[in-house]
Amino acid sequence: MSLPNKVKLHRGSKTLELQYPDGRGFHLRAEYLRVYSPSAEVRGHGVGQEVLQWGKKNVALSDVQAAGKYALKLVFDDGHDSGLYSWKYLLELAETEEQKWQDYLDRLAAAGLDRDPDISTIKLL
């Protein structure tokens, strides 16, 4: 597995840039990274215990820290700072962003939740 040769936090666009030696590059949005956090708070402690994250549209990354040579610790401005993003997981998120994002939007809609923290949806029977 190749490691990125460049990792850059873009505060203005709320993205994390990953550049790889083979020329591939990705800009991952903070919201996407937050809702797919590898932490137990998001993933739970087993299958079926995942916690759907909502209202994270405006979340930003406030810090990026190396966790040894195998991962990054991402610190979000909503206080979330647990879960280590391995290089393998970051690449997976980058390569499957379109599918994962649509799945997230579908799960939000099914739950009657929204990306915007200021919107509440009421389901009428």
Residues 61, 27: Cα–Cα separation, whole Å = 13
Could you tell me how many helices (H) and strands (E) the chain has, helices first?
4, 6
Domain ranges for the chain, please list them.
6-111
Q: What is the pLDDT of residue 47?
A: 83
122 pLDDT exceeds 80? no
- CA angle centred on 18, ends 15 and 21, rounded to 5°: 165
- Mean per-residue pLDDT for 3-8? 95
CA–CA dist 57, 31 (Å, integer) = 6
pLDDT (tens digit per residue) in 82-94: 999 999 999 999 9
3-class SS at 8?
strand
Specify the pLDDT at position 44.
87
Confidence check: pLDDT of 60 > 70? yes
Q: Which fold has domain 6-111?
A: NE0471 N-terminal domain-like (3.30.2020)
Average pLDDT (65-72) is 94
Query: Nearest-CA neighbor of 70 among 10, 1, 8, 24?
Result: 1
State pTM to two decimals.
0.91
User: Higher pLDDT residue, 101 or 123?
Assistant: 101
